[in-house]
Amino acid sequence: MDLGLKNKVVMISGASKGIGKAIAGVFANEGANLSICARDEDLLIKAACELQEDMGITVLPVVADLTQLNDVKKFVSATVDKFGLVDILVNNAGSAPAGEFLKIKDEEWSDAWTLKFLGYVRLSREVFPHMRSRKYGCIINIIGNAGKQPMKNYMAGGHINAALLNFTKMLAHEGEQHGIRVNGISPGPTKTERWDDLVLKMSEASGKDPVEWEKEFLMTFPLRRLAEPEEVGNLAAFLASDKACYVHGTVVTIDGGLTKCI
C-alpha cells in the first residue's frame, strides 16, 4: 500500500537505535525526509547515513538531549531551518528505570519524568505552532502498555506512560481545531537494547537468572515472543499517513494480545 508519505517531513526523537530507528527506517522506505535526534553523536550520524543510503531522501541528524529545553528548541528550529516545515512528529525518546520499588532513587523518578513526559510535552509544544499555521500535522506518542497494565518491578515506567495516555487525549483535543491529528502507540515489550537492560534489572529484582527470567516471562505471552521494532514502525507509518485520517485521539496497543483489559 502506498501510504502517501513521500517527501513528508518527519521528526523522530531518539532515532539512533531501537524503536525510533526502526520507525525512521519505515518512513525512509516510504520516501519521507527525516529529522532525527539523540545524544550520542557517532551513533546518530551512523544511523542517519544508513537511513539515507539508497533511499534518495534527506536525513538531518540533530544532537540533542531532550531533558534540556534548549535542546528541544534546537531540534525543532534546525528542522524548520532545513525543511521549512514539520508534517509529522514522533515522540519516542524515553527511558525509565526498572527494579525494586525500594531501590529506585528520587533522581531516577524525576530523570525519567523529565525525559519522557516533559520531553514529549515540550517537543509537541514547540512543533504545534508550525503545524497550526499550515492547518496540517500529525503527532504520534510512543507510550508503552505498562501505562494501562502496571508491570511488576516497572513502577517508574508505568506512571509516565499512564500520564502520557491522558496527555495524548488532551493534545488531540487541542489539535482538532487546527488540523493536527494526535495518536499514541503503546508497545508491549519490544526487542531493543533497552529491553535487554530492563531484563537485567527485573530479573535481579526477582532474584532470578536473566535468561531464565526472560524465558519464563515470554511463556506468559500469547505469541511467545517480543515485538520487533519494525512492527511498531509499520504501525507508526500507517497512523501518520492520510490513510488513517479518521484515527484521532486514540492509543493503539501493539503487544501480541498480552493486555487483557477492555
Point out which residues bind ligand NAP (CB under 6 A): 14-20, 37-40, 43, 64-67, 92-95, 115-116, 142, 144, 187, 189-190, 192-195
Q: Estimate to the nearest angstrom the gap between the alpha carbon of 61 and the chain centroid.
A: 17
Comparison of 55 and 156: residue with beta carbon closer to ligand NAP: 156
Strands 251-254 and 137-142: unpaired
Identify the bridge partners of residue 252 per DSSP, sorted by sequence position.
185
Closer to ligand NAP by Cβ: residue 65 or 230? 65
Cβ at position 178, least distance to ligand NAP in Å: 25
Q: Which residue number, 204 or 228, has a Cβ lying nearer to ligand NAP?
A: 228
**Residue placing its CB nearer to ligand NAP in the complex, 32 or 64:** 64
Q: How far is the CB of 134 from ligand NAP (least distance, A)?
A: 26
Question: What is the signed CA dihedral for 157, 162, 163, 165, rounded to 10 degrees?
Answer: 130
Using only C-alpha atoms, the chain has a radius of gyration, in whole angstroms, of: 18
Q: How far is the CB of 11 from ligand NAP (least distance, A)?
A: 12
From residue 136, alpha-carbon distances to 33, 34, 149, 173 in Å are: 17, 17, 33, 15
Minimum CB separation from ligand NAP for residue 14, in Å? Answer: 2
Which residue's CB is nearer to ligand NAP, number 7 or number 49?
Answer: 49
Q: Where are the beta strands (DSSP E) in the chain?
A: 9-13, 33-38, 59-63, 88-91, 137-142, 180-187, 251-254
Q: Report d(CA 182, CA 163) in Å as an integer.
A: 15
To the nearest whole angstrom, how small is the minimum distance from the Cβ of residue 186 to ligand NAP? 7
